[in-house]
Amino acid sequence: MTNIEKLQQAFIAALELGDDEFNDALAYNQHPSWDSSAHMILVAELEACFDIMLDTDDIIDMSSVAKAKEILAKYELKF
Amino acid sequence: MIEGFGFLLREVKSTDLEQLRVWRNRDDIRLNMLDQRVISSQMQQAWYNKIQEAKDQLNLVISYQGNAIGAANLKTTADNLNNEDLEPGFYIGDESLRGSMLAFAPAILLNDLAFERFNARGLYAQVLITNKAALKFNKLLGYMVENEDNSWVSMKLTKDAHERASAGMRKILQRWDK
């Protein structure tokens, strides 16, 4: 599975998205499903999928799919 | 009273009253409460006087990094909080943290307090059926739905479910323990 597929899978699981809803513009508190609970699940999913431990600032700053890719790049993950 | 994850739950002081009243009267908070009245200064003072002696409830201020950001409470229909079924409640008033994932921290601390300090038999919550975010939030905390009608959902949390559900979240939230 590629990194982008893992990322998509994590978002779909955490936010209970349809396949066509995953895109770079998807943002925290703009999509009705991306609330505090979904964000908690998303962090757990990403850490499990990519075997990483996110910093506190990165957890809070992860406010869109595009931003998630940018943050995950700091953990040597390429998309 | 109890602290962790960068948060402190402490007793309410008289100097907190006006801030709590302002938050409590905001529509986005008040309209999710069982008691949806707008609270006057006099009502707030009367409430504060009452809770000084009350044994059937504990009212706390949620503080994050030294600043008050919300309120929490534990209540029972019995005479005192020890070894009883308890009803926890809390809200985040501070805009920067409202809707944040960090809201799970004071919720877990409050549940820890209920189960560890007061040896609660179970925790019960009444959530408006339209408050989907709170229902989802409570389910992630381990609450199970017991009953629902057209307006309210009754939920219960056991100590075992609390420990299971909070374990993964603690691993994440502990990063704020500095």
Q: Is B121 left (phi over 0), alpha (psi -120 to 50) or beta?
A: alpha
User: What is the least distance, in Å, from the CA of A51 to any CA of chain B?
Assistant: 14
CA B53 and chain centroid, separation: 20
Assembly ipTM: 0.91
Q: Mutate which of A33, A34, A37 to test chain B, going by most B C-beta atoms within 10 A? A: A37
pLDDT of residue B15: 95
Q: Are A38 and A46 in contact (CB under 8 A)?
A: no
pLDDT of residue A18: 86
Q: Does the pTM of the predicted model rise above 0.90? A: yes
Q: Mutate which of A30, A33, A35, A39 to test chain B, going by most B C-beta atoms within 10 A? A: A35
Q: Which residue of B has its CA nearest to A45?
A: B168
pLDDT of residue B34: 79
Distance CA A32, CA A38 (A): 10
pLDDT of residue B87: 96
pLDDT in tens, A45-72: 999 999 999 999 999 999 999 999 999 9
pLDDT of residue B98: 86
pLDDT in tens, A12-51: 999 999 878 999 989 987 888 999 999 999 999 999 999 9
pLDDT of residue B31: 85
Q: Are A51 and A61 in contact (CB under 8 A)?
A: no
CA B63 and chain centroid, separation: 13
Distance CA B177, CA B155 (A): 30
User: What is the least distance, in Å, from the CA of B155 to any CA of chain A?
Assistant: 17
pLDDT of residue B86: 98
pLDDT of residue A29: 73
Give one DSSP letter per residue of B114-157, joined into a string. Answer: IIIIS--SEEEEEEETT-HHHHHHHHHTT-EEEEE-SSEEEEEE
Q: Is A16 left (phi over 0), alpha (psi -120 to 50) or beta?
A: left
SS3 B98: coil
Q: Are A32 and A25 in contact (CB under 8 A)?
A: no
What count of residues does chain B have?
A: 178
Q: Which residue of B has its CA nearest to A35?
A: B99
Distance CA B139, CA A53 (A): 24
Q: Which of B176, B15, B153 is nearest to B101 (CA)?
A: B176
Q: Are B112 and B170 in contact (CB under 8 A)?
A: no
B133 neighbourhood in chain A, CB within 8 Å: 35-37
Sites in chain B below the pLDDT cut of 50:
none
Q: What is the largest CA-CA distance in chain B?
A: 44
Q: What beta strand segments (E) does chain A contain?
A: none
Give the list of residues 6+ apart from residue B159 with CB closer than 8 angstroms, or none.
Answer: B115, B120, B122
Size of interface A-B (CB pairs under 8 A): 42
